[in-house]
Amino acid sequence: MPGMPSEPGQDQPAGPAAPGRSRAGQVAVITGGSAGLGLAIAAALAQAGTTVVLASRSAGRCAAAAEQLSARTGATVHGLACDVTSERAVADLTDRVLADHGRLDVLVTSAGIQARGTLGRLALADLRACLEVDVVGTWLACRAAVAPMRAAGYGAS
């Protein structure tokens, strides 16, 4: 199926969860989850029984990918629009996930764009756009997720 990471039955479940925790029943947010690596990781998590929220700029692409992944794995998969360069949008995404599911166990930051070109040809605006998504967007998503994760006992105190 175009845009999907593998054929039905070929999904491999994600690796082991943290000691004492099962992936089944966990909730994962995947930024950049509508395509590519993010969608492939989402498939592995869904196969392992995790509830998955796919997030990217396009609500339509996320919704379509979520519907296909849910049908293929039987897992609960939702799609939500979120531009990771927007502090407000990232905060809203986290709030929505906590309101809908009451927990956030896994964050995968796969939202990204590329800035291709030689030193002399790459436009500064393209480099900055890439840094904004890949670096700032990743930082914003991690910052939003860390509070509920720590409250749930993840990570160091």
Phi and psi for 125 in degrees, rounded to 5? Answer: -60, -35
Tell the smallest beta-carbon distance from residue 129 to ligand NAP (Å).
Answer: 9
Tell the smallest beta-carbon distance from residue 25 to ligand NAP (Å).
Answer: 25
* Residue 73 contacts residue 44 (beta carbons within 8 Å): no
Figure out which of the listed residues 133, 140, 144, 145 binds ligand NAP, where binding follows CB under 6 A. 133
- Residue 42's CB is within 10 A of a number of other CB atoms, namely 30
Stretch of 21-29, 33-41, 67-75, 91-99 contacting ligand NAP, by CB under 6 A: 33-41
Using the minimum distance from each CB to ligand NAP, give the nearer residue, 21 or 58. 58
**Binding string, residues 47-66; x marks residues near ligand NAP by CB under 6 A:** ---------xxx--x-----
Q: Is 114 in the site for ligand NAP (CB under 6 A)?
A: yes
Residues sharing a CB contact under 8 Å with residue 150, sequence separation 6 or more, in sequence order: 157
* Residue 73 contacts residue 23 (beta carbons within 8 Å): no
Q: Is 146 in the site for ligand NAP (CB under 6 A)?
A: no
82: burial class by Cβ within 10 Å (0-12, 13-18, 19+)? buried
Using the minimum distance from each CB to ligand NAP, give the nearer residue, 30 or 75. 30
37: left (phi over 0), alpha (psi -120 to 50) or beta: alpha
Question: Where do contacts with ligand NAP occur on this chain (CB under 6 A)?
Answer: 31-32, 34-38, 56-58, 61, 82-85, 110-114, 133-134, 137
